[in-house]
Amino acid sequence: MMDEFDFIRSIQPKYYRQSSVIKGIGDDAAIIRSLNQDIITTVDTMVESIHFTTQTMEPFHVGYRALAANISDIVAMGGKPTSFLVSIVVPKNWEKEQLREIYQGIDQLAQKFQMDVIGGDTVTGQQLTISITVFGSVNKHQVRYRSHAQAGDVVFVTGTIGDAACGLDLLLHEDQDTQQNYEYFINRHRMPLPRVNFIQATGNIKRMALNDISDGISNEANEIAEASHVALRINEKAIPYHIGITDFPKEKQQQWLLSGGEDFELLGTVSPNEWEKLVSIAEKTNTKITKIGEVFHHDRYNGSVLINNGSSSVILDKSGYTHLRGDNNE
């Protein structure tokens, strides 16, 4: 395996795309400057055989997806992704070439969004582990906390939901590669595209609550309900899906729609007065956007999510289970 020094050197760019990068790779630490904007940061770690296997991802996808997950968190705060640090634990038997493929996956997304790698480290270990710390910038008035939902808001999602979960299912059951939409679904698992362009265009929307859908609609909607002390009502039939999903058993469909994460689509709430404006921004940025419910106040249900399947309305918990409105021992 190549040593740490060589690898960090090998990925050191000749110039930085972002003017906020004052010092990148090459000293004890990196330096970033942000005079009028706040800096958003988060870390996300992927471990082989836990978050991916050689069956589900090539090294390229591991790198790509690790950065995509991080970018998605920046987007969910209303921010613009700018730079990142990469820490990789590499098994001893790995080849230089595999490490390079991981980095190529990272770099494909980094180029797309004009992001800079500003540091990192590479150490030896038993299990491939990739940990990315991402940075983004945001105007302080445009931060999108999950606590920003208000009664009356429209609840919306971007894109179609459950595609990545379907793709993972296809990858895990090898006999399914003749499935008509195989390539589409596995790409949604391996190479999800965070909604950077859409969110960058929403600067003049006054207020939104936003979560990226990393753990499924059920989880994200509950987090917004809890943080905002409101209740969300979701119309199950309104959740947008790719038509290919209907080839699968009903049970799987429902699970993917309610608990399937990692599409890195967004779930948000916005004032009904700004809904049309948001729809038009979505159109301009080629973003599918769908109203799936609304926010309301209710002493008993604040902090909870109700889901209506057309005939009855039940409580939807974080893990995607539903239960009757009377049985939760309030």
Can you name the residues that pair with 3 across neighbouring β-strands? none
Q: Is 144 annotated as a binding residue?
A: no
Determine, following the binding rule CB under 8 A, whether residue 287 of this chain makes contact with a copy of itself.
Answer: no
What minimum distance in Å lies between the beta carbon of 313 and a copy of itself? 27
What minimum distance in Å lies between the beta carbon of 55 and a copy of itself? 18
d(Cα 251, Cα 258) in Å, to the nearest integer?
11
Determine, following the binding rule CB under 8 A, whether residue 150 of this chain makes contact with a copy of itself.
Answer: no
Q: How far is CA 77 from CA 40, 142, 182, 233, 293, in A?
A: 8, 9, 32, 23, 21
Contact 117, 86 (CB under 8 A): yes
Close Cβ partners of 297 (under 8 Å, ≥ 6 residues apart): 151, 230, 231
Determine, following the binding rule CB under 8 A, whether residue 172 of this chain makes contact with a copy of itself.
Answer: no
**Stretch touching a copy of itself by CB under 8 A, among 36-44, 56-64, 249-257, 267-275:** 36-44
Contact 181, 248 (CB under 8 A): no
Determine, following the binding rule CB under 8 A, whether residue 230 of this chain makes contact with a copy of itself.
Answer: no
Q: Is 116 annotated as a binding residue?
A: no
Determine, following the binding rule CB under 8 A, whether residue 133 of this chain makes contact with a copy of itself.
Answer: yes
Determine, following the binding rule CB under 8 A, whether residue 203 of this chain makes contact with a copy of itself.
Answer: no
- According to CB under 8 A, which one of 1, 2, 151, 227 is a site residue for a copy of itself? 227
User: What is the identity of the amino acid at 213?
Assistant: I
Close Cβ partners of 51 (under 8 Å, ≥ 6 residues apart): none
Q: Is 51 annotated as a binding residue?
A: yes
**Stretch touching a copy of itself by CB under 8 A, among 23-31, 162-170, 243-251, 291-299:** 23-31
Q: Is 202 annotated as a binding residue?
A: no
- According to CB under 8 A, which one of 61, 146, 195, 233 is a site residue for a copy of itself? 146
CB nearer a copy of itself, residue 10 or residue 127:
127
d(Cα 230, Cα 150) in Å, to the nearest integer?
7
CA 322, 328, 330 angle in degrees (round to 5)?
145
Q: Is 107 annotated as a binding residue?
A: no
Q: How far is CA 163 from CA 166, 210, 221, 235, in A?
A: 5, 20, 18, 19
DSSP secondary structure code for residue 229 in this structure: T
- According to CB under 8 A, which one of 1, 8, 45, 271 is a site residue for a copy of itself? 45
Give, as ranges, the residues between 71 and 130 that touch a copy of itself (CB under 8 A).
73-74, 76-77, 79, 85-87, 89, 118-121, 123-127, 129
Q: Which helix (H) or strand (E) is 296 found in, with range?
A: strand 289-296
Determine, following the binding rule CB under 8 A, whether residue 247 of this chain makes contact with a copy of itself.
Answer: no
Q: Is 167 annotated as a binding residue?
A: no
Whose structure tokens read 């000293």? 27
Contact 222, 305 (CB under 8 A): yes
Contact 256, 165 (CB under 8 A): yes
CB nearer a copy of itself, residue 126 or residue 204:
126
Q: Is 189 annotated as a binding residue?
A: no
Determine, following the binding rule CB under 8 A, whether residue 322 of this chain makes contact with a copy of itself.
Answer: no
Question: Can you say which residues are annotated as belonging to the binding site?
Answer: 28, 42, 44, 51, 73, 103, 120-121, 146, 212, 214-215, 262, 321
Q: Which residues bind a copy of itself (CB under 8 A)?
A: 22-23, 26-35, 38-47, 50-51, 73-74, 76-77, 79, 85-87, 89, 118-121, 123-127, 129, 131, 133-136, 138, 140, 143, 145-147, 210-212, 227
